[in-house]
A and B are shown apart, each in its own frame.
Chain A
Amino acid sequence: MAGTTATERSGTSKGGGTLYRGDLGMWSWVAHRITGVLTFFFLFAHVLDTALVRVSPDAYDKVIETYKNPIVNLFEVGLVGAVLYHALNGIRVMLVDFWEKGPRYQRQMLWAILGLWVLVMIPGTYFMLVRTVSEMFGGH
């Protein structure tokens, strides 16, 4: 994993072709794309549901109730995780582009943002799910 570069690995795919199999940097790019597209689709739905405040308080409250459903609540953790990765990796991309030593430390910076992601997501997940979990198992 650590030592191989993209050039060493290209051309070693099964078919003997030259399929690009980049290293970690490629996967950080793939994850950046997927999290970005997912967030954009969610944003479409989210502006529509918020627009219900122009219809009636009742209509808005009803739709917002779905956000408090345990399954949807779990998706919210996923959404926050996706957006957080996209934000942290975006900062890393900017450092690679604008900081003179950025390209040299791109791999270390990837591990750093992944570590930061875990550090933020542990308390984040706790606070997002604590009420749902206590209502399911504590019984209110």
Chain B
Amino acid sequence: MSELTLARPRSPRRPAARRSNGELYSWLFMRISGVALVVLVLGHLFIMNVLDGGVHRINFGFVAGRWASPFWQFWDLAMLWLAQIHGGNGLRTVINDYARKDATRFWLKVLLYVSMVLIISLGTYVIFTFDPNITD
């Protein structure tokens, strides 16, 4: 191997745009969470909408029966968090692409992040505090 000879870079540091790897991790996260969501979401849709009468058999008792099992609690919790972050990151990209003014982009993202925190918190709270005997 011959030695690679390159002139010493004249700029003291890398340009600002390359200092963070945030977008790389965001890109990678979309693919990793995507694989998990294919199983979690398609499984959820199949059980809830297609299997054994589909949506017509769903009521409070059905939910109580499922959340009696830690397996389905964990399934739904993982699905909630991954879908919100995956979808929220997708919407962040969409906002970045189409918002023309900085102020519009800023406020749309504030709205997006508030809705993500709200939905993740509410959903997590409901899964952890679910009470099958709520009326007693």
Given contact pairs A36-B87, A83-B42, A127-B50, A53 touches B126 in the complex (Cβ within 8 A): yes
Is A117 part of the binding interface, using a Cβ–Cβ cutoff of 8 Å? no
Count class of interface residues, chain A: 35 or more
Complex contact A56–B126 (CB within 8 A): no
With the chains together, A11 CA to B54 CA distance in Å? Answer: 49
Complex contact A57–B60 (CB within 8 A): yes
Interface of A is mostly: helix
Q: Mark B21-60, 1 if CB is under 8 A from A, else 0.
A: 0000000000100110110011001000111011110111
Q: Among the listed B41, B51, B90, which residue makes an inter-chain contact with A37, where contact means beta carbons less than 8 Å apart? A: B90
Complex contact B94–A73 (CB within 8 A): no
Complex contact A124–B50 (CB within 8 A): yes
Given contact pairs A54-B129, A83-B41, A61 touches B59 in the complex (Cβ within 8 A): yes
Is A39 part of the binding interface, using a Cβ–Cβ cutoff of 8 Å? yes
Given contact pairs A36-B87, A37-B94, A76-B49, A56 touches B115 in the complex (Cβ within 8 A): no
Is B122 part of the binding interface, using a Cβ–Cβ cutoff of 8 Å? yes
Given contact pairs A51-B123, A54-B130, A90 touches B94 in the complex (Cβ within 8 A): no
Is B134 part of the binding interface, using a Cβ–Cβ cutoff of 8 Å? yes
With the chains together, A13 CA to B81 CA distance in Å? Answer: 43
Where the two chains meet, the residues of B that have a C-beta atom closer than 8 Å to any C-beta of A are 31, 34-35, 37-38, 41-42, 45, 49-51, 53-56, 58-61, 63, 80, 83-84, 87-88, 90-91, 94, 115, 119, 122-123, 125-126, 129-131, 134-135
Where the two chains meet, the residues of A that have a C-beta atom closer than 8 Å to any C-beta of B are 33, 36-37, 39-40, 43-44, 47-48, 50-51, 53-54, 56-57, 60-61, 64, 67-68, 73, 76, 80, 83-84, 87, 90-91, 93-94, 97-98, 124, 127-128, 131
